[in-house]
Structure 1
Amino acid sequence: MITSAEPVLFAAEFEPAHYLGRRRAPRRPVSLDARLGRGGLDRTLCKVTDVSIHGARLQTYSAIKRGSDIWLTLPGVGQVSATVRWSDDFEAGCEFHEPLSNAALRTLIDL
């Protein structure tokens, strides 16, 4: 039995229901084959591992530099221009120059 002289301790873990950090929109996990490069020039394969209307995380087969402007060809959507905001070995995060439409985002998520 607990009396008023005994301290009562509670332990609980807190997890926010929805945390975006610095992101403006939540990213959705995907696994999509895509291409870097414009038209027939310098087109290299990459994989999109998450996406939002504002950007995407890429796995690449060659390093790309932070601050680079890229063209990303997304399946079912086509080419979008983006800037590489961070890069770590063969993974990078890019921000689209123009946000994707909700319909384009839905297309990518449903693939």
Structure 2
Amino acid sequence: MDARATPTPPDDLDPAIEYKPRRASRLAVDEAARLSRSATYHVEVNVRNVSPCGFMAECPEAVGIGSYVMLDIPGLGRVQAQVRWQVGPRIGGMFTDPISLSRCEWTGERKDGA
């Protein structure tokens, strides 16, 4: 199957629920980052995936759904996002302005000293 094929809704999806495929594919990462809700509140998160439109991360603390946060992304700096969901330790955020993955250091080729 072509990775760029249009996604289809799951067979068991309730027909009353409108299916909306993701706007952008996500890139798997495993990177530590700082998430800030205010000038005095910061928490370390582990970002699991990122796209131009958003991210998913593991967060050890509850973050208010709908709250605005800043995520420190290497190569881009502090990026504003809105928390859209949280299930257990995982949170999903939507960037208020799409980001350029080509500038994000998480997505570039890594050079190891080996």
Give TM class, smaller chain.
0.7 to 0.9
TM-score by structure 2 length? Answer: 0.72
CA distance 1:60–1:24, shift in 2 (3 Å)? same
TM-score by structure 1 length? Answer: 0.74
Q: Say yes or no: does 1:36 pair with 2:35.
A: yes
The residue that corresponds to 1:108 in the other structure is 106
Q: How do 1:36-75 and structure 2 match up within 5 A?
A: 36-37=35-36, 41-75=40-74
Partner of 2:97, secondary structure, is: coil
Per the TM alignment, residue 38 of structure 1 is displaced from its structure 2 partner at its CA by 6.2
| Contact 1:48–1:57, Cα closer than 8 Å, also in 2 | yes
| Contact 1:33–1:75, Cα closer than 8 Å, also in 2 | no
CA distance in 2, matches of 1:89, 1:102: 27
Per the TM alignment, residue 71 of structure 1 is displaced from its structure 2 partner at its CA by 0.8
Q: Say yes or no: does 1:85 pair with 2:84.
A: yes
CA distance 1:39–1:78, shift in 2 (3 Å)? farther
One-letter amino acid matched to 2:83: V
Structural RMSD (CA):
2.2
Per the TM alignment, residue 39 of structure 1 is displaced from its structure 2 partner at its CA by 7.8
CA distance in 2, matches of 1:61, 1:102: 26
Q: How do 1:5-20 and structure 2 match up within 5 A?
A: 17=3, 18=5, 19=7
Flag as ranges the 4+ runs of structure 1 deviating above 4 A. Answer: none
Q: List runs of 5+ in structure 2 lacking aligned partners.
A: 9-19
Partner of 1:57, secondary structure, is: strand
CA distance in 1, matches of 2:62, 2:86: 8
Per the TM alignment, residue 77 of structure 1 is displaced from its structure 2 partner at its CA by 2.0
Larger Rg: 1
Per the TM alignment, residue 74 of structure 1 is displaced from its structure 2 partner at its CA by 1.3
The residue that corresponds to 2:98 in the other structure is 99
